[in-house]
Amino acid sequence: MAFFPTSAPAAASIGRVSDAELVARARAGDTAAFGELVDRHRVAVYRAAHAALGSASEAEDVAQEAFLAAYRKMGAYRGDASFKTWLLRIAWRQARARRRRLAWRWRRLLSAGEPPSASTASGREERTPEATLIGAEMAAHVRRLVCALPARLRDPLLLCADGAQTYQEMAVVLGIPEGTLKWRVAEARRRLKERLARLGYGDE
């Protein structure tokens, strides 16, 4: 494929650059390159944080902090895993640290009973086509049952739920073997289906 240099502004050429190249530029002090990395991975980082915290506002804070931490630790990125996986690992650790803090627990306790919001920053709950199909009632049951799962089963289940990352990547993010990750996801699904069946949502 021939390359035709154009007079387009430099920002337009960043879109065709790989993550590795952007990381190298960011290390050299190019903050615009780092900004492009933020844009590329903000959704994945936000969703990982939301999977751990269940709150849109908390997930936004953690996502921001995760990117700042990644910028500071840019020199430590060795390239063993993809930049996205490395970034998600940082975000996951920060989200878990926040979850462990007592204040977070108190807030969750005070807001117990409210379903976690998988919404955008505006706070409105979006009705996806999937939610419309399965019905709001079942969605509410699934949400409640997922929150009741132990964290070691809930976290892998939610992290792999959007299908954007592979099991191998998520295993690196969680710091567990891939086989363990697959088992935990399968076990979480099994328990959910068992409880949904008791609620009358079994296979027909």
Partner 1 sequence: MSELDRALDAALRAMAAGDGPADLRARVMARLDERARPPRRRRLALAAAAGIALAVATVALLRTGPRPEPVPTAGRAASSASAVPPEETPVAAASPHAPPLPLAPARGRAPGAAPPPAGAASPAAPALEVEPIELTPLAVESMSAEPLTVTALRIERMQIEPLAEPQP
Quick check: 113 binds partner 1 (CB under 8 A)?
A: no
Which of 12, 21, 97, 162 is the binder for partner 1 (CB under 8 A)?
162
Quick check: 138 binds partner 1 (CB under 8 A)?
A: yes
| Nearest residue (CB) to partner 1, 175 versus 202 | 202
Span of 13-21, 81-89, 94-102, 196-204 interacting with partner 1 by CB under 8 A: 196-204
Rounded to the nearest whole angstrom, what is the least distance from the CB of residue 7 to partner 1 in the complex?
Answer: 25
Quick check: 67 binds partner 1 (CB under 8 A)?
A: yes
Which of 97, 148, 161, 186 is the binder for partner 1 (CB under 8 A)?
161
Task: Assess contact for 32 and 11: CB atoms under 8 A.
Answer: yes
| Nearest residue (CB) to partner 1, 2 versus 112 | 112
71-110 binders of partner 1 (CB under 8 A): 71
Please state the three-class secondary structure of 110-165 as a single string: HCCCCCCCCCCCCCCCCCCHHHHHHCHHHHHHHHHHHHHCCHHHHHHHHHCCCCCC
| Nearest residue (CB) to partner 1, 4 versus 39 | 39
